[in-house]
Amino acid sequence: MAILAGKKVIIIGDRDGIPGPAIEECAKSAGAEVVFSSTECFV
């Protein structure tokens, strides 16, 4: 948990993996500040 506390994070999620908003929620709950989050399609 502590590794993200107080850190700014950039999130790129995967349509067929873990989408951005899901990672965003996890990162926020770990104390991170989400500065950018998006989901991309790699296919």
Partner 1 sequence: MKTVIKGAGYILAHTPDMVLHNGTTQTTERIVNPESEYLKELPSHLRDWNTVLGYWPNQVYIGNKTPDDLAAIPQPWCDKTCDVNDRFGPYGQMMPQEEFLLMMQAVDVFSLVKLEKSFVETYKPVLAQNPLIDESILNRIVEGIDGAEIARLVAEEHSEGLYHNNVLVGCVNRAHDIDVNLSAHVMHENMVSKASSVLALLAALKNAGIDKNDVEYVVDCCEEACGDMNQRGGGNFAKAAAEIAGLNNATGSDVRGFCAGPAHALIDAASLVAAGTFKTVVVTAGGCTAKLGMNGKDHVKKGLPIMEDMIGGFCIVLTQDDGVSPEINLNIVGRHTVGTGSAPQAVISSLVTESLDRNGLKITDIDKYSPEMQNPDITKPAGAGDVPLANYKMIAALAVKRGEIGRADIASFADKYGLTGWAPTQGHIPSGVPAIGYLCDKIKAGEMNRAMIIGKGSLFLGRMTNLFDGASFVIQANSGPEAPAGVSEDEVKKMIAKAMREFAATLLAAEE
**Binding residues for partner 1, per CB under 8 A?**
13, 15-22, 25, 38-43
> Please, what is the minimum distance in Å from the beta carbon of residue 11 to partner 1?
12
Instruction: Assign 3-class secondary structure to the chain.
Output: CCCCCCCEEEEEEECCCCCHHHHHHHHHHCCCEEEEEEEECCC
CB of 30 to partner 1, least distance (A): 16
Q: Which is nearer to partner 1, 21 or 31 (CB)?
A: 21
CB of 18 to partner 1, least distance (A): 6
Q: What does the angle CA 35 – CA 41 – CA 32 come to, to the nearest 5 degrees?
A: 20
